[in-house]
Chain A
Amino acid sequence: MELVCPAGNLPSLKAAVDNGADAVYTGFRDDTNARHFAGLNFTAGKLADGIRYAKGKGKRVFIAMNTYPRPDGIARFEEAVDQAAALGVDALICADIGVLDYAARRQPKLNLHLSVQGSATNYEALRYYHEHFGIRRAVLPRVLSMAQIEHVIEQSPVEIEVFGFGSLCVMVEGRCILSSYATGRSPNTYGACSPASHVEWIETDTGLDTRLGGVLIQRHAKGENVGYPTLCKGTYRTDGRTYHAIEDPVSLNAMALLPQLAAAGVAAVKIEGRQRSPVYVKQVTRVWREALDAFARDPEHFAPQAEWTAELAKVSEGAQTTLGPYHRPWQ
Chain B
Amino acid sequence: MTTSDIVAQGLRGKKGDVKSLLFEGALLLSLFISLLFLIILLVDVVGKGIGVLLDRGGSFLSSGLSSFAERAGVGQGIFGSLVMLIFVVLLAFPIGVASAIYLEEYAKDTKFNRFIDVNIRNLAGVPSIVFGLLGVAIFVLVLAPLTGGASYIAGGLTLAVLVLPIIIITSAEALRAVPDSIREAGFGVGATRWEVVRSHVLPVAAPGIFTGTVLSISRALGETAPLLLVGAVTGFVATGDASLGEQLQGPFATLPTTIFAWASEPDSDFRALTQAAIIVLLGVILTANAIAIFLRNRYERKW
- The answer on A and B forming one complex is no
**Contact residues of A with B, CB < 8 Å?**
none
**Contact residues of B with A, CB < 8 Å?**
none
